[in-house]
A and B are shown apart, each in its own frame.
Chain A
Amino acid sequence: MAEEYKRAYAFGMDYGTSDFKFGPISCGEMPQIIENRGYFPDSGSIMYRAFDQAKEVVVGEEVPMYLQSSEDLALRLIYPMRNGIVAKDDERAWAVVREITKYGLSSFRPPEAEFKGFYVVASLSSIAPKYMYEKLFKIYGDLAGEGLIAASTVIAQPLAVAIAHKITTCVVIESGHGNTQICPISRYPIRNAVVTINRGGGDANALTAEIMKDAGYGDLAREESLVRRVKEGIGLVPADLNEAMEEGKRNPKRLRVKFKVPGTRITVELEEEPWRRFLIGEFVFDPNHEVFQSYFRRGMPRPGDVKIGDATFLGMLDFGEGIVGSVERCPVELQPHLYRQILLSGGNFSWQAPKELEGLAIDSKTKIRALLKRRGITNVKVAVADSPQYSVWRGCIIYGYVVPEDYEWDWDRMEGWMRP
């Protein structure tokens, strides 16, 4: 009965730097998504005291209704994760993590009387330090007291992706808003071979903002959510950046683009130098072309190397080099098998390759193949996860279904169910 109960109430949580994706097994194909952030209202203000219930942190859809001036945002709007990591002593950040967790669980609390809490499977970055597991389990223990959690476990995001695709020997490249993790998996993540890159969708947003400024949309370029939509609307991945730029200069009409933001009167048009669309995609995969230097010189931050916990995130490493570097840390016999099963996951791989730009614009898997070919690796199979932005969550759900209910958490193996 306990096993049956666990299968019915498995609940997945994917803590990304930008988004928090959550939902029970009954969500079907996709989870709910909120931004991974929280707003700390000025609880001393008479307006809050008179009109609102005292809330320490506001999360989810309500956040925009609490926002005030732009200056206020930096102080009160907290994004708890940086490159998938929450600093150990950052109490406000952990308060946000607690609140989004509670929000996710509460919004799916089943009405039935027999409900005694979810079996939560959370997913963190593959380089998340042990203290993050401990802190999460502490939060889950508190929420168990509110009847929301029966047991919990935590797995690495790349492993969740592999599970979602039922592949146990592969390289998972999980590229989100803040960073990219390249993680070989042979039944389990090979931790010593994980390569982390300090570059993700957020960096492509930053470049898109610069391109918008140059095109005369400086006023709009300040709003990150708008910039992100423009990026998704106009950004392209070039097969070869030099050729794409030349073609764009020769035949700009072919690349001209007008992007209308749905539900608004806003239109963004790249009329003068439409070839710059290719820079957005190229920057994600390989930011080393000289054309990017002019943006760095004008103040766009260069993705730098950072050390977070025990991990060093390399900023300018191209994805091809990153994959080779990661695979070559694995046993030689395993390496060909890993190259033959490369899985791309995360919203940062959702690039369109329009038919009318065939030969110039390519999709993510073709780009990865091209980057590896440049390094002499040809026997490669690359697949983009179905609904790449949801595959971590889906892996969490399957993991929760599969791990036996009576399998207790083990800190050495980092697997099993933690009881409150």
Chain B
Amino acid sequence: MRPKAIKLFGRIWYDVRLEGGLEVEPWDRLLDPIGGMSRLKKREGMRYVFSGGTLSPIPSPRPDGGDFHMAVELEEARPWFVDAVFEAACRDVKECGLSLTLRPEGLDFSKLRDWASRAGEGFSSDREGAFSSKLIVKGQRASLTGHPKHGILSLRGVFRRGKGRPSEVLASILKEGSPNG
């Protein structure tokens, strides 16, 4: 299974301190470096369609003080594009929340489930084969959930700057569920 052929949906989020009266919006700060890594094909309202995927900000109530919750939605994103967004976000923060969903064709869910039960902590599963496990992959802590009935795999965690990139974490996990792996 080639991770680069995969399309991902999900969100990336982090909390930033709004300093200096919002001169530079967190959204603009995020967008700026991504433009250098992926070609902007078009803009539809607040949806930015890049060559590697679509990005749009999720609105968030403005705090009177303290941190602002910055969240963006990813649609049809290639793994390398997720890396680009993650790296752009990591210019401002040391860690980001990341939630990714994919519907991988040909994934052997039972094989992946067996691996997740061995490799992870807090493993749980149900009668229909759905499972959840907390893993450390490429230095990143993430919770992996599989719903074989619906063909959905989701990964959620707080990813730290300087550790494995999201695409690397994902590739490692998918390798464990590959029928030929």
Query: Which stretch of A27-35, A68-76, A221-229, A246-254 is in the interface?
Result: A27-35
Query: Which stretch of B57-65, B86-94, B159-167, B169-177 is in the interface?
Result: B57-65
In the complex, whether A110 has a CB less than 8 A from a CB of chain B is yes
> Are A29 and B45 in contact, CB atoms less than 8 angstroms apart?
no
How near does chain B come to A46, taking the closest CB pair, in angstroms? 29
Instruction: Determine chain B's interface SS by DSSP, over half rule.
Output: strand
How near does chain B come to A407, taking the closest CB pair, in angstroms? 9
In the complex, whether A370 has a CB less than 8 A from a CB of chain B is no
Complex CA–CA separation, A346 to B36 (angstroms): 36
Residue of A26, A111, A113, A167 touching B152 (CB-CB under 8 A): A26
Q: Which residues of B contact A341 (CB under 8 A)?
A: 45
Most chain B CB atoms below 10 A, which of A8, A398, A401: A401
Complex CA–CA separation, A398 to B103 (angstroms): 20
In the complex, whether B147 has a CB less than 8 A from a CB of chain A is yes
In the complex, the chain B residue whose C-beta lies closest to that of A402 is: B59
Complex CA–CA separation, A113 to B126 (angstroms): 11
Residue of A8, A107, A398 touching B156 (CB-CB under 8 A): A8
Q: Which residues of A contact B61 (CB under 8 A)?
A: 402, 404
Contact A25 to B47, CB < 8 A, known contacts A109-B126, A111-B125, A402-B60: no
> Are A383 and B44 in contact, CB atoms less than 8 angstroms apart?
yes
Contact A166 to B99, CB < 8 A, known contacts A28-B10, A110-B130, A398-B73: no
> Are A29 and B9 in contact, CB atoms less than 8 angstroms apart?
yes
In the complex, whether B2 has a CB less than 8 A from a CB of chain A is no
Residue of A26, A32, A398 touching B145 (CB-CB under 8 A): A26
Q: Which residues of B contact A26 (CB under 8 A)?
A: 99, 101, 145, 147, 152, 154, 156
> Are A25 and B99 in contact, CB atoms less than 8 angstroms apart?
yes
In the complex, whether B37 has a CB less than 8 A from a CB of chain A is no
Mask of A79-109 contacts with B, CB within 8 angstroms, 1/0:
0000000000000000000000000000111
> Are A27 and B101 in contact, CB atoms less than 8 angstroms apart?
yes
Number of interface residues, chain B, beta carbon within 8 A? 38
> Are B150 and A165 in contact, CB atoms less than 8 angstroms apart?
no
> Are B57 and A112 in contact, CB atoms less than 8 angstroms apart?
no
Complex CA–CA separation, A418 to B102 (angstroms): 31
Q: Which residues of B contact A404 (CB under 8 A)?
A: 61
In the complex, whether B122 has a CB less than 8 A from a CB of chain A is yes
Tell me the residues in window 1-18 of chain B with beta carbons closer than 8 Å to chain A beta carbons: 8-11, 13
Q: Which residues of A contact B81 (CB under 8 A)?
A: none
Q: Which residues of B contact A111 (CB under 8 A)?
A: 124-126, 130-132, 145
> Are A28 and B9 in contact, CB atoms less than 8 angstroms apart?
yes
> Are A401 and B152 in contact, CB atoms less than 8 angstroms apart?
no
Q: Which residues of A contact B47 (CB under 8 A)?
A: 165-166
Tell me the residues in window 162-201 of chain A with beta carbons closer than 8 Å to chain B beta carbons: 165-167
In the complex, the chain B residue whose C-beta lies closest to that of A398 is: B58
Q: Which residues of A contact B8 (CB under 8 A)?
A: 28
Residue of A27, A108, A166, A398 touching B45 (CB-CB under 8 A): A166
How near does chain A come to B12, taking the closest CB pair, in angstroms? 12
Between A and B, 16 residue pairs with Cβ closer than 8 Å are A23-B150, A26-B101, A27-B152, A28-B102, A28-B103, A29-B9, A29-B101, A108-B150, A109-B126, A111-B130, A113-B122, A113-B124, A398-B73, A402-B60, A402-B61, A404-B61
Chain A interface residues (CB < 8 Å from chain B) = 7-8, 23, 25-29, 32, 107-113, 165-167, 341, 383, 386, 398, 401-402, 404
Known: A7-B13, A166-B46. 9 other contacts (CB 8 A): A8-B156, A23-B150, A26-B156, A27-B101, A29-B101, A110-B132, A112-B132, A113-B124, A167-B46
Chain B interface residues (CB < 8 Å from chain A) = 8-11, 13, 44-47, 56-61, 71, 73, 75-76, 99, 101-103, 122, 124-126, 130-132, 143, 145, 147, 149-150, 152, 154, 156
